[in-house]
């Protein structure tokens, strides 16, 4: 994830977790996996979280959003082009 996107994603995560239902997808259409961490560079989700999103209940989506918030706050990805795959 580009360092510039992390604060925005953390902010979106905090807001999304407060919604009572119908939580939005974290996807921002920057879909590349960071191989060392296993997270998408755009939304900081794992492949399993991305694939299962549409089948998750709101409580599970809220947990994923919280995980994204923590990942963004810790700035897990220091990314250059050779680390990401399309």
- Give pLDDT, residue 85: 47
- Give pLDDT, residue 34: 92
Paired tokens of 21: 């239902």
Domain ranges of the chain: 5-73
- Give pLDDT, residue 86: 47
pTM, two decimal places: 0.79
Q: Please list the ranges in the chain whose pLDDT falls under 50.
A: 1, 79-86
Could you please report the per-residue DSSP string of 1-58? --TTHHHHHHHHHHHHHHSSS-PPP---S---EETTTTEETTT---HHHHHHGGG--H
| Torsion, CA 72, CA 76, CA 82, CA 86, rounded to 10 | -40
């Amino acid at each position: 994830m580009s360092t510039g996107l992390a604060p925005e994603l953390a902010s979106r995560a905090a807001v999304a977790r407060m919604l009572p239902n119908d939580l939005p997808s974290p996807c921002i259409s920057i879909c590349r996996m960071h191989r060392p961490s296993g997270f998408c560079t755009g939304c900081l989700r794992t492949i399993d979280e991305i694939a299962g999103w549409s089948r998750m209940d709101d409580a599970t989506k809220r947990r994923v959003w919280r995980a994204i918030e923590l990942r963004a706050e810790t700035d897990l990805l220091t990314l250059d082009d050779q680390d990401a795959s399309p």
